[in-house]
Structure 1
Amino acid sequence: MAVKKKFPCRAAVVACNGTCAASAVSRCKYGCVGCGNCAAVCRFGAVSLNENGVAEVDEEKCIACGMCVRACPQDIIRLHECANYIVVRCANEDKGKEAREACPVSCIGCGICEKTCTAEAIHVIDSHAVIDESLCLSCGMCAVKCPRHAIADLRGILA
């Protein structure tokens, strides 16, 4: 089912990088547990589980109804503006060493992204980066400078 969207549109995004295997016993207690609730409630086929069992959203199919947001037991799915391509793909609130041990791509709250952002749109809150989309210019400098690759460009342009 194709849905015509108006600009700026909204879509869901999962705050979990998806490179580690999802499980209820994962060392990261903040990540996706792979329960599939989000995919089950999505009537548009926009949410699926990747090869690691982690939820992923197809922005082209997503209409931002919020069903997956409400169904997620980990509260790691949120709606974002599609015009903003830069997202934080981590919800880990552990500090430095513990975050590193839990996931190889978790945010460690180092603050490099915050120092890099000329728009002052990103801040470290509860030991992980959070982007204020109303201020973000989508320049991607935070994604480029992030030493852990916890910040991503959904277009796949910046690495």
Structure 2
Amino acid sequence: MAAKKKFPYHSAFVACNGGCHEGNGDSSCSYGCIACGLCVNTCPYGAISMNEYGVAEVDEKKCTGCGRCAEACPQQIIHIHEDANFIAVKCFNHDKGAASRKQCDVSCIGCGICEKTCTASAIHVIDNCAVIEEKYCLSCGMCAVKCPRHAIYDLRGVLTPTR
């Protein structure tokens, strides 16, 4: 079944990059994707699959932003994006830096470098994790370039490698 894109833009986004699965074999991060498959089974458009890291991944071309996957996710890491923003924080870990570092090689540690770098004041560290306010983000990618842990991505793969 082909999904029809409608205006305004809506698409699901998974805030996990799978670094906790890759480094430790099993997920030691209590905030990340647990690969349960509920989102995959719930999506009526076939827009979600599991990637090589064991993390749910959304195909934006198929996604209509209906929100069923976000409702089904037991970890609450799937969100509906309202803007076609290419810069995203692919981490939802709220532990402090040292604990976060132990769980995942690419977790947000809440250092605040992204917040200091953003000229649009679109990114803030809340509960030890970077959060982007999409309506203010210019998609310049400076936060992604400066992120020491590579938890912020340019989803196009232009400024940072995609994962």
Same fold (TM over 0.5): yes
Cross-structure match for 1:124: 125
- Checking the alignment, whether the CA contact within 8 Å between 1:116 and 1:141 is kept in structure 2 is yes
Give the alignment's TM-score, normalised by structure 2.
0.91
Give the alignment's TM-score, normalised by structure 1.
0.93
Cross-structure match for 2:10: 10
State the distance in 2 between where 1:63 and 1:7 align.
Answer: 10
Cross-structure match for 2:154: 153
Could you report, residue by residue, the CA deviation over 1:30-85 in whole angstroms, capped at 9, with x for unpaired residues?
A: 00001000000001111111122211111111000000000000000001134211
Could you report, residue by residue, the CA deviation over 1:109-150 in whole angstroms, capped at 9, with x for unpaired residues?
A: 000000000000000000000000111111111111111110
What percent of counterpart residues are identical? 66
- Checking the alignment, whether the CA contact within 8 Å between 1:8 and 1:83 is kept in structure 2 is no
Could you report, residue by residue, the CA deviation over 1:90-121 in whole angstroms, capped at 9, with x for unpaired residues?
A: 00001111000000000000000000000000
CA RMSD of the aligned region, Å? 1.6
Cross-structure match for 1:33: 34
Structure 2 letter corresponding to 1:64: G
- Checking the alignment, whether the CA contact within 8 Å between 1:49 and 1:55 is kept in structure 2 is yes
1:1-159 to 2 correspondence within 5 Å? 1-21=1-21, 26-159=27-160
Gaps of 5+ in 1: none
Is the partner of 1:17 in helix, strand or coil? coil
Structure 2 letter corresponding to 1:81: E
- Checking the alignment, whether the CA contact within 8 Å between 2:20 and 2:28 is kept in structure 1 is no
Structure 1 letter corresponding to 2:17: N
- Checking the alignment, whether the CA contact within 8 Å between 2:48 and 2:59 is kept in structure 1 is yes
Structure 1 letter corresponding to 2:138: L
State the distance in 2 between where 1:83 and 1:37 align.
Answer: 25
Is the partner of 1:123 in helix, strand or coil? strand
Gaps of 5+ in 2: none
